[in-house]
């Protein structure tokens, strides 16, 4: 009897699972039904995602989650932030635990194809750099032959480092570390000559040192790290929503739409592109299954791309990142939102 | 009487010598040191080495601790204060991060206006444990209970608990005092009901949920009473079946309907809001409470004569012990999601508790099996000779002795399991040691802080684990029946 009960349970579980697969349809419908967006974020990365003393999340990636929630649900606070680690992030997305992953994840070929993710664009162009102590006398990464280097294991940075040194026929001794905090500590304790991670992380780390003037970030950027939000394969409408929310934030900056003047512009702007973007004319929202003012709400949530950048990681913040590659294409950067029409 | 000694001078002293102090080397601190620290060459060398290590630690870390800053809003401000007070280049600890973020280390992201709920739950947990942990000794019970009550009520008032809940806590505690002074067993029903009460207080929501969970076993009991006269076997199976069917198919809907008819409940708190020591202690206590009975059952199953049961127990124990806990946690957080239909929210903390329990139970089973094996065969034979059946023999003769022997091992497993709760960091839960510290470091004010959170969290862990260890020693002393 025990056996038949067991078999019955297995059969029932399979049946339920099958039904579940069948039900798994529109992410948009699920989010609306739940009235909450499940957004996967970093468990804590300076400037990109961090909970404050009251548990409110802020940061560059967090702002994107809020913008999507504002576009879809009309309220930027209807987000459940699901903290994900480097190991759990992609599984959490493909298993449906989260609707969108905004966790400074690098858009790579294998992640896009083999892991069955869809990257909805790039919200931050990063690249891997090196930090060394000034008294080491090194001014270029090419002079790092034979150095010991602190490197976070299990990340793309580890592979980039190996590639770079092999390409330049140099040797190095890796000091494996588990987290950014540990890396800083090892570097401060002189366990390694150089510390390597994404340039944005290096800037934040250096800014937090007691003596930032004694450390320099070397000019070489040895890898391309386009960080962007990702969604599951298979639900193209949902991917479009995330992609165009990001594009709306970028386009808003290009057209000078800010959270301050957006109300005014939505009534009085003469620019037809702005009118379409803000839903004053045409019904672009309906094509996504949203209402006309979706992009307006997304921009109102935290401002346009430039405002989000300035508030979280820009030069006025302790992290102090320059726009660099992340400037608009009109300013010599790579941000280029396709036209809204 | 002879006079032989009539003229001899008595040599027996007839006055007392005045009391003299003992020689300096045989008294007080000097004697203690001679006996304990410098009793021989090896001991002397070890003592000197110990002193050298302490001196080294003092030189290495003394100034860092002495220059602790507790009042600052960010790490740069800490550094300024240290530089201003102890001069440029001085270093110091910045414990201000603990002062500002202590609430997250203790409660995670639990809503701050509801902090009194976990505090009350913890206080009531201690009350519920009284009849289990301190059943025998009234003075100990009195001290522990008074301390618990005083601390809980103080903390609840400080955290702004509503009057109604204060009254509720006071009522339970007054009853506990009464039971403790008269007959502690009267508190046992509360101990049995506490898990439901605790879960409801922590997660909140409708009161009807726990009520209908309770109804299940009640229905089962009624079934058993009705049928037991016909067949005990049938009655047991049916009553369990009734309970499970009620839980699975009726309880949820019924609770929902009842909530619609007569809303009764407290503000719900999502599992994702749990973190810090609240999470560790919730998982730890649940794991401890569940793994001990499960471990006992597994140990008995492994020593059973029935082939199927033995095999199942061996496979289970060896499989679970052969797999790292992290693997089980990943299974709980990731793999289960693929098997369950999307949208079923099988609570992540519940999943973790199940895995931790299963893991600890496998170790527990082996510890208890050691205790069972250590009992002389005569004890088993004596139980048989008395005509006791299997369960009675286990309950009255075998287990009390075997468990007593296993106490150090059992408590070790508990301590290990409690510390292992920090591994939940790998499945994205906010354990106090790593995740919470990383989250704190991710704010621009505290980026760059490293040792202070670890020291604070390590200290709290030490207090709890040391407490468990002391309790196990107390229990061993109290259960000592032989005369050595």
pLDDT in tens, A292-318: 999 999 999 999 999 999 999 999 988
Q: Which residues pair with A148 in a beta bridge?
A: A173
Handedness of CA B199, B203, B206, B207 (dihedral sign): positive
pLDDT at A14: 43
pLDDT in tens, A214-259: 999 998 899 999 999 999 998 999 999 999 999 999 999 999 999 9
CB neighbour list of residue B291: distance below 8 Å, 6 or more residues apart? B356, B357, B358, B360, B361, B364, B413, B417
Q: Is A48 exposed, middle or buried (CB count within 10 Å of its CB: 0-12, 13-18, 19+)?
A: buried
Residue B482 has pLDDT above 90, yes or no: no
pLDDT at A12 over 50: no
Chain B residue numbers touching A61 (CB-CB < 8 A): none
Which run of H or E residues covers position B124?
Answer: helix B116-133
Of A152-156, B49-53, B224-228, B241-245, give the lowest mean pLDDT range: A152-156
On the question of pLDDT at A260 being above 70, the answer is yes
| A95:B337 CB<8 A | yes
pLDDT given at position B8: 63
Instruction: Give pLDDT tens digits for B401-410.
Output: 999 999 999 9
For residues B468-484, average pLDDT: 84
Shortest CB distance from A204 goes to which of B438, B440, B447?
A: B447
pLDDT, tens only, A35-68: 999 999 998 888 999 988 888 999 999 999 999 9
The answer to whether A242 and A28 are in contact (CB under 8 A) is: no
Torsion on CA atoms B70, B75, B81, B83, rounded to nearest 10: 130
Split at pLDDT 50, 70, 90, the class of B479 is confident
Q: Say if A198 is an interface residue toward chain B (CB within 8 Å).
A: no
What is the rounded distance in angstroms from the CA atom of residue B273 to the CA atom of residue B271? Answer: 5
Instruction: Give the model's pLDDT for residue A13.
Output: 45
Greater model confidence, B212 or B358: B358
Question: How large is the greatest C-alpha to C-alpha distance in chain A, in angstroms?
Answer: 77
What are the residues whose beta carbons fall under 8 Å from the beta carbon of B153, sequence distance 6 or more?
B123, B166, B169, B170, B173
Contact indicator for A323, A316 with CB cutoff of 8 Å: no
- For chain B, the maximum distance between any two Cα atoms, rounded to a whole number of angstroms, is 114
B256-268 pLDDT per residue, tens: 788 888 788 888 8
**Looking at chain A from residue 153 to 182, which residues have their Cβ under 8 Å from any Cβ of chain B?**
179-181
pLDDT digits (tens, 9 = 90+) for B269-290: 988 889 999 999 999 999 999 9
Q: What angle do CA B442, B446, B450 make, to 5 degrees?
A: 90
State yes or no: pLDDT of A76 exceeds 80.
Answer: yes
Task: Report residue B7's pLDDT band, with 50, 70 and 90 as the boundaries.
Answer: low
Q: Is the pLDDT of residue A22 over 50?
A: no
Q: What is the pLDDT of residue A203?
A: 87
Region B436-453: what's the mean pLDDT? Answer: 90
**Cα radius of gyration (chain B):** 30
Once rounded to an integer, what is the mean pLDDT over residues A13-28? 53
Q: Which residues 435-464 of B are in CB contact (within 8 Å) with A? A: 435, 437-444, 447-448, 450
Nearest CA to CA, how far is B334 from chain A (Å)?
7
Report residue B403 as tokens: 């468990």
Q: How confident is the model at residue A171 (pLDDT cuts 50, 70, 90)?
A: very high
Q: H or E element: which one contains A148?
A: strand A147-152
| DSSP conformational letter for A339 | P
A185 touches chain B (CB under 8 A): yes
Q: Which of B343, B257, B194, B309 is nearest to A2 (CA)?
A: B309
User: Residue A113: what pLDDT?
Assistant: 92
Is A213 in CB contact (< 8 Å) with chain B? Answer: no
Q: Which two tokens stand for residue B358?
A: 């299963």
pLDDT band at A87 (very low <50, low <70, confident <90, very high): confident
Compute the average pLDDT of residues B243-248: 85
The pLDDT of residue B118:
95
pLDDT of residue A15: 42
- Dihedral class, residue B106 (left if φ above 0, else alpha if ψ from -120 to 50, else beta): alpha
DSSP character at residue B17: P
Yes or no, beta carbons of A83 and B112 under 8 Å apart: no
CA geometry: angle at B253 spanning B249 and B259, to 5°? 150
Model confidence at A178, pLDDT cuts 50, 70, 90, reads: confident
Cα of first residue to Cα of last residue in chain A, in angstroms, is: 65
CB < 8 Å to A19, chain B: 341
Comparing C-alpha atoms, which of A223, A138, A148, A143 is closest to residue A183?
Answer: A148
The answer to whether A181 contacts B439, with C-beta atoms less than 8 Å apart, is no
Q: Is the pLDDT of residue B475 over 60?
A: yes
User: Sorting pLDDT into bands at 50, 70 and 90, what band is B27?
Assistant: confident
Q: What is the arithmetic mean of pLDDT over A198-215? A: 88
Identify the pLDDT of residue A2.
40
Q: Do B447 and A205 touch (CB under 8 A)?
A: yes
Residues of A in contact with B334 (CB under 8 A): 88, 91-92, 95
pLDDT band at B6 (very low <50, low <70, confident <90, very high): low
d(CA B132, CA B4): 75
Q: How many CB atoms lie within 10 A of CB B230?
A: 9
Sheet-wide strand order for A215-217: A172-177, A147-152, A194-198, A128-133, A215-217
Give residue B342's pLDDT band: very low, low, confident or very high (50, 70, 90).
low
Look at B137 and A1; give whichever has higher pLDDT. Answer: B137
Between B62 and B26, where is the model more confident?
A: B62
ipTM surpassing 0.85 = no
Chain A residue numbers with beta carbons less than 8 Å from the beta carbon of B428 are: 43, 82-85, 88, 92
Taking all residues of chain B, what is their mean pLDDT, rounded to a whole number?
Answer: 89
d(C-alpha A226, C-alpha A211), whole Å:
30
At residue B344 the predicted structure's pLDDT band, cuts being 50, 70 and 90, is low
Answer yes or no: is pLDDT of B167 > 80: yes
Sorting pLDDT into bands at 50, 70 and 90, what band is A3? very low
Contact assessment for residue B110 and residue B273, using Cβ atoms and an 8 Å cutoff: yes
pLDDT interval class at A7 (50, 70, 90): very low
């Amino acid at each position: 009897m025990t056996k038949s009960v067991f078999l019955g349970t297995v059969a029932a579980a399979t049946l339920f699972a099958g039904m579940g697969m069948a039900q798994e349809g529109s992410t948009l419908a699920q989010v609306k039904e739940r009235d909450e967006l499940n957004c996967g974020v970093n468990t804590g990365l300076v400037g990109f995602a961090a909970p404050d003393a009251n548990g409110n999340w802020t940061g560059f990636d967090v702002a994107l989650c809020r913008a999507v929630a504002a576009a879809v649900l009309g309220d930027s606070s209807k987000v459940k932030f699901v903290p994900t680690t480097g190991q759990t992030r992609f599984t959490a997305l493909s298993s449906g635990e989260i609707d969108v992953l905004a966790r400074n994840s690098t858009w790579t070929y294998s992640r896009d194809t083999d892991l069955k993710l869809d990257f909805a664009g790039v919200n931050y162009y990063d690249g891997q750099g090196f930090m060394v102590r000034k008294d080491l006398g090194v001014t270029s990464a090419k002079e790092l032959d034979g150095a010991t280097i602190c490197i976070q294991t299990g990340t793309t940075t580890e592979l980039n480092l190996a590639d770079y040194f092999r390409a330049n026929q140099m040797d190095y001794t890796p000091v494996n570390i588990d987290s950014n905090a540990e890396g800083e500590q090892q570097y401060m304790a002189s366990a390694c000559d150089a510390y390597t991670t994404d340039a944005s992380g290096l800037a934040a780390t250096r800014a937090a040192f007691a003596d930032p003037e004694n450390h320099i970030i070397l000019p070489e950027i040895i890898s391309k790290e386009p960080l962007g939000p990702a969604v599951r394969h298979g639900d193209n409408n949902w991917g479009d929503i995330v992609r165009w929310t990001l594009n709306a934030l970028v386009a808003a900056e290009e057209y000078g739409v800010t959270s301050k003047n957006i109300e005014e512009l939505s009534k009085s702007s003469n620019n037809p592109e702005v009118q379409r973007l803000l839903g004053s004319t045409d019904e672009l929202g309906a094509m996504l299954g949203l209402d006309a003012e979706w992009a307006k709400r997304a921009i109102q949530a935290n401002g346009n791309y430039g405002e989000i950048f300035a508030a979280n990681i820009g030069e006025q913040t302790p992290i102090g990142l320059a726009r660099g590659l992340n400037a608009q294409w009109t300013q010599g950067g790579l941000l280029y939102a396709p036209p809204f029409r | 009487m002879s006079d032989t000694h009539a003229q001899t001078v008595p040599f027996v002293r007839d006055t007392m010598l005045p009391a003299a102090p003992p020689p300096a080397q045989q008294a007080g601190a000097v004697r203690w040191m001679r006996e304990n620290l410098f009793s021989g060459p090896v001991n002397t060398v070890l003592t000197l080495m110990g002193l050298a290590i302490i001196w080294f630690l003092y030189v290495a870390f003394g100034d860092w601790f002495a220059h602790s800053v507790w009042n600052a809003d960010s790490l740069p401000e800490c550094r300024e204060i240290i530089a201003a007070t102890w001069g440029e280049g001085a270093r110091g600890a910045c414990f201000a991060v603990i002062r500002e973020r202590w609430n997250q280390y203790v409660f995670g992201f639990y809503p701050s206006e509801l902090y009194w709920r976990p505090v009350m739950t913890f206080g009531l947990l201690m009350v519920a444990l009284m009849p289990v942990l301190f059943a025998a000794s009234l003075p100990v019970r009195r001290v522990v209970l008074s301390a618990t009550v005083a601390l809980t009520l103080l903390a609840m008032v400080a955290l702004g608990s509503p009057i109604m809940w204060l009254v509720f806590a006071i009522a339970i505690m007054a009853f506990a005092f009464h039971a403790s002074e008269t007959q502690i067993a009267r508190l046992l029903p509360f101990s049995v009901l506490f898990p439901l009460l605790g879960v409801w207080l922590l997660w909140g929501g409708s009161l009807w949920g726990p009520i209908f969970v309770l109804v299940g076993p009640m229905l089962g009991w009624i079934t058993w009473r009705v049928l037991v006269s016909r067949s005990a076997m049938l009655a047991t199976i049916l009553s369990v079946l009734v309970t499970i069917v009620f839980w699975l198919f009726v309880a949820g809907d019924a609770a929902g309907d009842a909530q619609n008819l007569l809303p009764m409940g407290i503000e719900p708190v999502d599992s994702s809001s749990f973190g810090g020591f609240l999470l560790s202690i919730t998982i730890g206590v649940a794991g401890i409470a569940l793994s001990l009975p499960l471990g006992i059952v597994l140990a008995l199953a492994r020593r059973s004569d029935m082939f199927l049961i033995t095999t199942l127990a061996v496979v289970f124990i060896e499989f679970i012990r052969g797999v790292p806990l992290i693997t089980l946690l990943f299974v709980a957080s990731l793999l289960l999601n693929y098997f369950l239909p999307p949208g079923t929210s099988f609570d992540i903390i519940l999943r973790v508790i199940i895995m931790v329990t299963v893991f600890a139970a496998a170790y527990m089973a082996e510890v208890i099996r050691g205790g069972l094996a250590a009992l002389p065969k005569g004890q088993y034979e004596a139980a048989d000779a008395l005509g006791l059946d299997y369960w009675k023999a286990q309950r009255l003769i075998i287990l009390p002795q075997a468990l007593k022997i296993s106490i150090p091992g059992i408590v070790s497993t508990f301590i290990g399991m409690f510390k292992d709760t920090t591994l939940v960091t790998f499945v994205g839960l906010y354990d106090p040691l790593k995740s919470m510290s990383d989250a704190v470091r991710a704010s621009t004010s505290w980026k760059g802080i490293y040792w202070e959170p670890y020291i604070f969290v390590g200290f709290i862990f030490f207090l709890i684990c040391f407490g468990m260890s002391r309790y196990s020693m107390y229990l061993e002393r109290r259960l000592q029946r032989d005369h050595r």
